[in-house]
Structures are given as C-alpha cells and as structure tokens.
Structure 1
C-alpha cells in the first residue's frame, strides 16, 4: 500500500479526530486545526504516526499549513514525487 492511499483525507481526518477524542465528522477540513483543539503535542503524535506509515513529513511541514486540506495536499504531493 502506498503512503498516498494510506494517508487519504479520510485517514487524516480519522487520525486527527482520534488524538482530539472527537468523531471524525467534527473535524472540518478547511478550518485551522489549532482552532479545532489541536496542540503541538498532539501534532507531534500525528507526525510520528504518519512517518511510521512512510510519510516524509516534519512537525514544521504541518505547523506551516493550518488545515486538513493543506495537509492532505502536502502528503498527496509527496506520495506523487516518491511513486
């Protein structure tokens, strides 16, 4: 399975929801995640999880992009470059 298919927008939403303790439907893809309760500790947890899945992503990569849509675009573009 490629990183792209493993880290789809749906999977990202599920992972963010899991670290926030909410239902995935409550995570808006176009609202900054810090406004939805994400903090730096939880962000680091996500970075570690996604790196373990094969994504070449850093804390700074995600911190510079505030929304789930931007994270998805970043990870999708990375998967395309590494395919």
Structure 2
C-alpha cells in the first residue's frame, strides 16, 4: 500500500513527519533540536525530502537540510 502524502506542508506536518520517522513524540522536538542528536540519519532524511517534495515543498533539499540539522532551520526552508 502506498504511503499517503499530505497536500499541505505546514509546521505541524513537518514536525509530525520527523517525529514519526524518529519514533518519538512531537512534543520532544523544539526549534532548537539538533535532529542528528535525536537519531536522524541520511536514509530517514532522504525519505522525508521525497515525501515533502511530493507534497508540495519544492525547497526541501537533502544537501540544504543536512548542512543545518536544526529543526528551526528546516522549518524555515520547508514551510513557506
């Protein structure tokens, strides 16, 4: 079964998607969270980038996000 892709990419969606792939509660994430410190790796990041780009976030880019793995920086890039 194909994974359902959201058509609206907002802050809550990004945070929820990250929490889901890391298997943690979204309440554990703040804008200052370094996502590498909570288990983000390149495979998970690639999966999220593909999902967000398909969902309408053209600025979601693997290199950009990997270069600054802090949640607040990701939100600034992904959410218009």
Which of 10, 30, 54 is matched with 2:56 structurally? 54
Unaligned runs of 5+ in 2: 1-6
Q: Please state which structure has a larger fraction of its residues in helix.
A: 1
Q: Secondary structure at the match of 1:30?
A: coil
Partner of 2:3: none
Partner of 2:68: 65
Q: Secondary structure at the match of 1:35?
A: coil
Unaligned runs of 5+ in 1: none
The count of residues paired between Structure 1 and Structure 2 equals 73
CA RMSD of superposed structures (Å): 1.6
Partner of 2:8: 6
Counterparts of 2:68 and 2:25, CA distance in 1: 22
TM-score (normalizing by structure 1): 0.77
Q: CA deviation at 1:75?
A: 2.0
Q: Indicate yes or no: 2:22 matched with 1:16.
A: no
